[in-house]
Chains A and B, each alone.
Chain A
Amino acid sequence: MRRNNLLRTIIIGLAIVWSLWQLYPTFVVGRQKKEAENYLVQIERETGLNRDEINEALNAGQLESRIRQRLHDKPADSLQALLKEAASLIALHDKISKNETKTIKRGLDLQGGTYLVYEVNLPKLMRDVAKNKDARFEEIMKKLDVVAATPNADYFAALQASFAEADIRLNRYFGSRAQTDAQILDELKREADDAIDRNLEILRNRIDQFGVSEPSITKQGSRRVVVELAGITDKNRAKNIIGKTALLEFNLVKDPQIFQDVITKIDNLLKRDLAAKPEVGTAIDTSVTDSTGASGKVSKDKAVNVSELFAGSSIVPSDTAAASSDSVQVDKDIFSGNPFISLLRDVGRSEVAVPAQNVRAVERILNNPEVQKLIPPDAEFAWSNKPEKVADEQYYYLYLVKKEAELTGALLTDARPEIASGSGMIRQGEWTVSMQLNDEGTRIFSRVTGANVNKRLAIMLDNKVVMAPNIKEKIPSGRASIEGSMNAEEAKDLAIVLRAGSLQAPMQVIEERTVGPSLGQDSISKGTWSAIISLILVMLFMAVYYKLSGLLADSALVLNLVMLLACMAFLKATLTLPGIAGIILTIGMAVDANVLILERIREELRAGKTVRASIDAGYDRAFWTIFDANITTLLTALVLYQFGTGPIKGFAVTLMFGIAVSMFTAIVVTRVVYDYVTRRYNLKALSI
């Protein structure tokens, strides 16, 4: 019994420590956000940029250059002052993004934001892919539009049925003459699935343009995409970003030599800039950790604070008060000689890998007007669209490409992943992507490939590099095959990207919710107040009605709330307004378990048992009652979670955790306290 209690005490102690540790970031972020708010307001006022624009620039590392653009006609000292503010905000923003992954997320209804559900517009898609459209066709399609508007109706079955009814074979309007109805139907279904995948790919590629810390873009079922943008207040801007047609371009990659020259020039500029400040580099201590860079050679990288690193630099303005969170990976030996190059990792072939945490610093340097002057006028830097993982580190690739695109996605007619047959250069069984160009595309492509053999052509979606294959030979036929040690998944993705840039997938908004930021604030304060008032009232009542035992139940209740929030932070759950209601309800429900136990103990005392025996009997008898009652509530919460959308899901989550935690606090925690007290003092009477 005694040892068992010791174990329980340890578990309880651990639970409390763990909870506080989980909640600490939430607490810190709250403070940092208040601080960031001051900077935001100031920058808003001075530049006239709105909140979303500032956030977007922050996420893309372009805040300073945006401010310079805005204030190019203002006196230099006011610009410098504001840039200092911006630097502090950037440092703070980095800290917040780091911490935010460990906090309880606030749902759209609490911080304002936009929730959109897109669905493939099947009727429009069918009309788009039909090869000829006459009056008969339109007549049948019109009837089908009704089917498309009814929930859970099988559109394709209806399509097949109506054409069969009209005694028309599908190949008259879709596919090719030789195909059977079944084959064509399969193809049409594939087309619909593909439309969703294409959109998903485009949206994910644009994700950082939203100016949101954690945009969420998910596929729901096979025909829908749900977009959640927390904190976005200008929904029309968001919709414009989402609704924009994808821009697929093919740009030539500049020669490696030119790339090297530009980087060296930037490096020298930074060095000169820093040489004026003797204290630079002192921030880096001499202890180094070995890590393997993307190049495979061992470099002595160390996380160093940007502000300290570039202290006093005019290229990377920093705030001396900025904390040490916006750190970059640099090798200090290289830094002292080559400040810019130390941020990059050489991987050869006219491209450079940049560790993910250095991206923003590099971006800040590249956006500096002085640095911009060093880039050839016909070229620009571009990042890869996805990070690559090498030895536990995420790397983005940096390219220097020609500004002018050679051809655009509009000239593409199709792109498919294929398995190589083994003819030609590549091994059998290797995945490739073949693309088909239209006549104009074929002409241009033939000229471009002919003139640039052995150069690289970057495939760019919305100005990010998806891939940069080498041009092996002139391609006159308009059928190109892209190779590059891809697996099936990568080939499929690339084909989707290529198609996304050529074919607009018709989508429509079928559900949309926007919550203004002020309403979110209102909801939070009201919800929080309700919770606090409820808690105080309930606790007061318990203390009065059950005296000291009531106070014990109260402390279990507080612990219950703390642990519930900690669980939510740990699981990165989203707190919604119904979620707050769920917490308040949990307060009510948690009291129930305590009341059941305490009432039982009273009964046993009345029956004339000793204090110890009454407590034991009370807990034992109440246990199954509490268990049964809670399990059933848990069942309803689970069903809610399964069926609910956003806010309702949030409610279900808090309810589930609330129940689990309240069982622990009511049954285990209070009991251990009783055991200790009764053993130490050998109570004759219980304050209950």
Chain B
Amino acid sequence: MMQFFGETRIDFIRQRWKAIAVSAIIILAGLVSMIIKGGPKYGVDFLGGTVIQVHFPQAPNIGDVRQALADAGYGDIEIKTFGAANEILLRAEKQEEGTAISDAVMNALRQAFAHNPPEERLVESVGPKIGKELRTAAIWATLISLALILVYVSFRFEFIFAVGAVIALFHDVLITLSFFSLLDMEVNLTVVAAFLTIVGFSLNDTIVVMDRIRENRRIHRDATIEQLINLSVNQTLGRTIITSLTVFTVVLILLFFGGDVIYNFAFAMTVGVIAGVYSTVYIASPIVVEWHKKAEVQKIRRGVKVA
């Protein structure tokens, strides 16, 4: 039988404060960078504007591209290469009626690069109004998912488990968002889809452990909650490692081979998968532990009063 671990007896719970500190540092750094930058760096989906992806047969000189655009009166367009050196991404702040911008830009480039004819590969043009609407829809989608999960998990386990799970999910999304802000990456619609997938995956992991806790509770009636959690995490460790490694491998493949279009999605997933596995043990479980400790203390106090 091939195995990564035999029976482990790692005391996960004891190291919880260190882990929480690490999380807190990342999230704080992320929040600070978001405050400095004025919120996450939204893509055109959420901000409105126009993005044009242009493909050149040979890599053009960026200076020439800038010059050609400036001559056409589009000096304020942001230019960056995208993956390969012959893929140029142009981003304009405003969205004019229809394709006015993309047509003018493409014509200017075709004239300037007649010997290296550019090809328009993608245009995304979103009005500011739609952008705002999508932003609200994305936030709502995330909140409603979490609310539904809270209800379902409370119903299947107990309320405090659900609270722990949902806080852990929040933590995963915040960590991912922080990475995006720190690395100056764009948050667009697919990234939000990634957030919700992370929520699903991370929860999957949390539920497996909680399920074990529930089962162990029935077997070991006199164990403390720390012991129960440690035991359960250790028992499910094999499965956790295997599953997260598989998903992690798959997401890494997407990241490296999936192409530019889903790069951000894959990146969010990569961060989220790591956060998701870790948050089960170090975020959701401690919440349950602290809650139970408080409850015990109150029980004792009440006992003292009665006596």
Does residue B60 face the partner (Cβ distance < 8 Å to A)? Answer: no
The total of chain B residues at the interface (CB under 8 A) is 72
Q: Mark A597-620, 1 if CB is under 8 A from B, else 0.
A: 001001100000000000000000
Provide a sorted-by-A list of 13 A–B residue pairs whose CB atoms are within 8 angstroms.
Answer: A512-B123, A514-B99, A514-B102, A541-B246, A589-B201, A592-B246, A595-B242, A624-B211, A628-B207, A636-B203, A640-B196, A648-B193, A651-B190
Are the CB atoms of A587 and B250 closer together than 8 Å? yes
Interface of chain A residues 556 through 593 with chain B (CB within 8 A): 577-578, 581, 584-585, 587-589, 591-592
Instruction: Decide: A629 near B141, CB < 8 A? Known: A152-B133, A529-B257, A533-B257.
Output: no
The 8 tightest CB contacts between A and B, nearest first, are A526-B259, A588-B247, A633-B200, A510-B127, A643-B141, A629-B204, A519-B121, A516-B121
Q: Which of B119, B204, B211, B265 is A592 in contact with, Cβ under 8 Å? A: B204
Q: Distance (Å) between the CB of B104 and the closest chain A CB?
A: 12
Instruction: Decide: A585 near B97, CB < 8 A? Known: A530-B253, A628-B211.
Output: no
Are the CB atoms of B196 and A636 closer together than 8 Å? yes
Are the CB atoms of B254 and A632 closer together than 8 Å? no
Does residue B294 face the partner (Cβ distance < 8 Å to A)? Answer: no
A603 to B199, CA, bound (A): 29
Does residue B145 face the partner (Cβ distance < 8 Å to A)? Answer: yes
A547 to B2, CA, bound (A): 9
Are the CB atoms of B189 and A645 closer together than 8 Å? yes
Are the CB atoms of B126 and A545 closer together than 8 Å? no
Does residue B185 face the partner (Cβ distance < 8 Å to A)? Answer: no
Does residue A484 face the partner (Cβ distance < 8 Å to B)? Answer: no
Contacts of B129 in A (CB 8 A): 149-151, 510
Contact residues of A: prevailing secondary structure: helix
Q: Distance (Å) between the CB of B200 and the closest chain A CB?
A: 4
User: Which B residues fall within an 8 A CB radius of A?
Assistant: 1-2, 53, 55, 97-99, 102-103, 119-130, 132-134, 136-138, 140-141, 144-145, 148-149, 152-153, 156, 189-190, 192-193, 196-197, 199-201, 203-204, 207-208, 211, 215, 235-236, 238-239, 242-243, 246-247, 249-251, 253-254, 257-259, 261-262, 265-266, 269
Are the CB atoms of B207 and A625 closer together than 8 Å? yes
Q: Which of B122, B137, B246, B247 is A514 in contact with, Cβ under 8 Å? A: B122
Q: Told that A151-B133, A538-B249 touch, could you supply 18 new A-B pairs with CB distance under 8 A?
A: A109-B261, A235-B123, A510-B129, A512-B123, A545-B242, A578-B190, A584-B253, A588-B246, A588-B251, A591-B243, A603-B235, A625-B208, A628-B211, A629-B204, A629-B208, A636-B149, A640-B141, A647-B190
Q: Distance (Å) between the CB of A398 and the closest chain B CB?
A: 37
Q: Which of A509, A518, A538 is B246 in contact with, Cβ under 8 Å? A: A538
Are the CB atoms of B243 and A631 closer together than 8 Å? no
Contacts of A673 in B (CB 8 A): none
Q: Distance (Å) between the CB of A622 and the closest chain B CB?
A: 9
Does residue A7 face the partner (Cβ distance < 8 Å to B)? Answer: no
Contacts of A541 in B (CB 8 A): 246
Q: Which of B98, B140, B149, B199 is A643 in contact with, Cβ under 8 Å? A: B140
Does residue A635 face the partner (Cβ distance < 8 Å to B)? Answer: yes
Q: Mark A652-688, 1 if CB is under 8 A from B, else 0.
A: 1001000000000000000000000000000000001
The total of chain A residues at the interface (CB under 8 A) is 74
Instruction: Decide: A149 near B121, CB < 8 A? Known: A538-B249, A632-B149.
Output: no
Does residue A140 face the partner (Cβ distance < 8 Å to B)? Answer: no
Q: Distance (Å) between the CB of A192 and the closest chain B CB?
A: 16
Are the CB atoms of A596 and B250 closer together than 8 Å? no
Does residue A513 face the partner (Cβ distance < 8 Å to B)? Answer: yes
Contacts of A123 in B (CB 8 A): none
A134 to B178, CA, bound (A): 53
A602 to B242, CA, bound (A): 14
Residue of B nearest to A590 (CB): B246
Residue of A nearest to B200 (CB): A633
Are the CB atoms of B130 and A510 closer together than 8 Å? yes
Residue of A nearest to B135 (CB): A151
Contacts of A510 in B (CB 8 A): 126-127, 129-130
Q: Distance (Å) between the CB of A145 and the closest chain B CB?
A: 12
Contacts of A632 in B (CB 8 A): 149, 152-153, 200, 203-204, 207
Contacts of B120 in A (CB 8 A): 514, 516
Does residue A511 face the partner (Cβ distance < 8 Å to B)? Answer: yes
A591 to B266, CA, bound (A): 19
Are the CB atoms of A526 and B258 closer together than 8 Å? yes
Does residue A544 face the partner (Cβ distance < 8 Å to B)? Answer: yes
Q: Which of A511, A544, A546, A655 has the most CB of B within 10 A?
A: A511
A547 to B266, CA, bound (A): 30
Q: Distance (Å) between the CB of B118 and the closest chain A CB?
A: 11
A151 to B266, CA, bound (A): 30
Does residue A523 face the partner (Cβ distance < 8 Å to B)? Answer: yes
Are the CB atoms of A519 and B53 closer together than 8 Å? yes
A11 to B93, CA, bound (A): 56
Q: Distance (Å) between the CB of B292 and the closest chain A CB?
A: 21
Q: Which of A509, A533, A578, A644 is B253 in contact with, Cβ under 8 Å? A: A533
Q: Distance (Å) between the CB of B248 and the closest chain A CB?
A: 8
A173 to B43, CA, bound (A): 42
Does residue A450 face the partner (Cβ distance < 8 Å to B)? Answer: no
Q: Distance (Å) between the CB of A657 and the closest chain B CB?
A: 14
Q: Mark A144-175, 1 if CB is under 8 A from B, else 0.
A: 00000111100000000000000000000000
Does residue A393 face the partner (Cβ distance < 8 Å to B)? Answer: no
Does residue A436 face the partner (Cβ distance < 8 Å to B)? Answer: no
Q: Distance (Å) between the CB of A537 and the closest chain B CB?
A: 6
Does residue A515 face the partner (Cβ distance < 8 Å to B)? Answer: yes
A509 to B130, CA, bound (A): 11
Are the CB atoms of A635 and B123 closer together than 8 Å? no
Contacts of B193 in A (CB 8 A): 578, 640, 644, 648, 651-652
Q: Distance (Å) between the CB of A277 and the closest chain B CB?
A: 48
Instruction: Decide: A633 near B124, CB < 8 A? Known: A584-B250, A639-B145, A648-B189.
Output: no
Does residue A527 face the partner (Cβ distance < 8 Å to B)? Answer: yes
Does residue A637 face the partner (Cβ distance < 8 Å to B)? Answer: yes
